[in-house]
Amino acid sequence: MEKIKMTTPLVEMDGDEMTRILWQDIKDILLTPYIDLKTEYYDLGLPEREKTKDQVTVDSAEATKKYGVAVKCATITPNAQRVEEYKLSQMWKSPNGTIRAILDGTVFRAPIMVEGISPVVKNWKKPIVIARHAFGDVYRATEQRVTAPGKAELVFTAADGTETRQTICDFDGPGVLQGQFNKDASIRSFAHACFRFALDAGQDLWFSTKDTISKQYDHTFKDIFQEIYDSEYKTAFEAKGIEYFYTLIDDAVARVIRSEGGFIWACKNYDGDVMSDMVSTAFGSLAMMTSVLVSPDGKYEYEAAHGTVTRHYYRYLKGEQTSTNPVATLFAWTGALRKRGELDYLPDLVAFADRLEKATIDTIESGVMTGDLAGLWEGKHKARVVTSREFLTAIAERL
Ligand code: NAP
Ligand code: MG
């Protein structure tokens, strides 16, 4: 069989621990036998980040800007224990944080649904995609512990020196303070990414904040979304028969639970952080969750939503064949290959990505799966728990 050709390289960001092992196995068993895989390789594994003083992470993000599509393996975000374990010269920042800061943008997370694993919420029939704004708010806040009575003020000094001043609180005793911000430019790109993604997917877009309470902050998000929708997307949404609608986050939560799924739920940074964990858990497992970062200028970075599965890696190092679920990492690859195929007009590559995803889902639905899924399994066939490599090989046979 002739291998499928690619024209533009994918930016390949390798990672750490168990997912690094899965990464190579996926390539060896499911990709390179069928595709003339063209990638520009960046090793984001912690030893290489240490060696390059984290320059490799910056370079990989810059390459994503250049080529437009990247696929990323899970990576360690160092903490004190990792500094010790890997003898690091510094506690390097989260690679995802560095990449997001360079690409900006919105993270879309979607569950991979299979028959035999039902969402905890009985009426959910279709995936719910969470679109999380990945900039500002509490993640870039300035905080202060107040220890004595005193007055806290919100002061803004304009470039021309004029000052506005509002009292936040007259403290009569100890307390806490927090200053958050966001930028119109980032909110606008968040809105564009959501509207474009909804059009691509042909799904309704919901957006929720707490604008009744946060009359300036959250209301700005609501207004910017509405303005951009009315001026740039309304016609296209109507032509596709899809809907944009805004509602209060409390109302959204209630509606989401009662819905049958099949839409995109856009959330501010913190809401998206919390809600994506809730939604993914209710759908089954983090190992069955895809994640893609879409930048305002249309660059894509695909990854799994879970981490490097450290506990399994330590067992692997002792010689054990683990039953770690490779599905989310595999779907990061198929997502990236499909997008590359669409951008470069390579229908064979697009079709390959579709077939590989189908083979994966069919394999699980036939009862062959990794250990994490067996506990959730309610399918017709009896579950047969296999190792990661056996699972990938079973997919290859089906493919
Ligand atoms: P984790 O790697 O997601 O794993 C937590 C636990 O969830 C595992 O021990 C395992 O449970 C289960 N699990 C997760 N993914 C699985 C899979 N594919 N197949 C089977 N089981 C899976 O989270 P963590 O242990 O908190 O973090 C480990 C490292 O990952 C940390 O260094 C962290 O910095 C990094 N991390 C990276 C990213 C990223 O790059 N996007 C995201 C999160 C965390 P059992 O042990 O019970 O089987
Ligand atoms: Mg979270």
pLDDT at residue 316, rounded to an integer:
97
pLDDT at residue 153, rounded to an integer:
97
Q: State the closest ligand 1 atom to the C-alpha of 72, by its place in the atom list counted from 1.
A: 40
What residue owns the CA closest to ligand 1's atom 46?
311
Q: Which of 13, 286, 291, 306 to mutate to test the pocket of ligand 1 (most atoms within 8 A of CB)?
A: 306
What residue owns the CA closest to ligand 1's atom 5?
309
5 CB near ligand 1 (under 6 Å)? no
- Whole-number Å distance, alpha carbon 172 to ligand 1 midpoint, is 44
Q: For residue range 311-321, list pLDDT tens digits in order.
A: 999 999 999 99
pLDDT at residue 217, rounded to an integer:
97
Q: For residue range 127-157, list pLDDT tens digits in order.
A: 999 999 988 888 888 999 999 999 999 999 9
pLDDT at residue 138, rounded to an integer:
87
Mean pLDDT of 66-79: 96
Reference 78, options 65, 67, 88; nearest CA is 88
Q: Which residues pair with 14 in a beta bridge?
A: 43
- Whole-number Å distance, alpha carbon 96 to ligand 2 midpoint, is 13
Q: For residue range 259-310, list pLDDT tens digits in order.
A: 999 999 999 999 998 898 889 889 888 899 999 999 888 899 999 989 999 9
Q: How many percent of the chain have pLDDT more than 70?
A: 100
Q: Encoding tokens for residue 240?
A: 């596709």
75 secondary structure, DSSP code:
-
Spacing of C-alpha 142 from chain mean position: 25
Q: State the closest ligand 1 atom to the C-alpha of 371, by its place in the atom list counted from 1.
A: 20
pLDDT at residue 1, rounded to an integer:
76
**How far is it, in rounded angstroms, from Cα 142 to Cα 128?**
33
Q: State the closest ligand 1 atom to the C-alpha of 22, by its place in the atom list counted from 1.
A: 18
371 CB near ligand 1 (under 6 Å)? no
Mean pLDDT of 70-91: 95
Q: How many percent of the chain have pLDDT more than 90?
A: 86
Whole-prediction pTM value?
0.90
Q: Which residues pair with 367 in a beta bridge?
A: none
Reference 379, options 113, 112, 110; nearest CA is 113
247 CB near ligand 1 (under 6 Å)? no
306 CB near ligand 1 (under 6 Å)? yes
What residue owns the CA closest to ligand 1's atom 45?
311
What residue owns the CA closest to ligand 1's atom 4?
309
Q: For residue range 3-47, list pLDDT tens digits in order.
A: 999 999 999 999 999 999 999 999 999 999 999 999 999 999 999
The per-residue DSSP string of 257-326 comes to: HHS---EEEEE-HHHHHHHHHHHHHHHS-GGGEEEEEE-TTS-EEEEESS---HHHHHHHHTT-------
96 CB near ligand 1 (under 6 Å)? yes
pLDDT tier at 158, thresholds 50, 70, 90 = very high
Q: What angle do CA 268, 74, 285 make, to 5 degrees?
A: 65
Residue with tokens 């490799």: 56
Reference 104, options 266, 296, 292; nearest CA is 296
311 CB near ligand 1 (under 6 Å)? yes
Q: State the closest ligand 1 atom to the C-alpha of 291, by its place in the atom list counted from 1.
A: 41
pLDDT at residue 305, rounded to an integer:
86
User: Of the bound ligands, which one is closest to the alpha carbon of residue 330?
Assistant: 1
pLDDT at residue 14, rounded to an integer:
98
pLDDT tier at 49, thresholds 50, 70, 90 = very high
Q: Encoding tokens for residue 369?
A: 């799966």
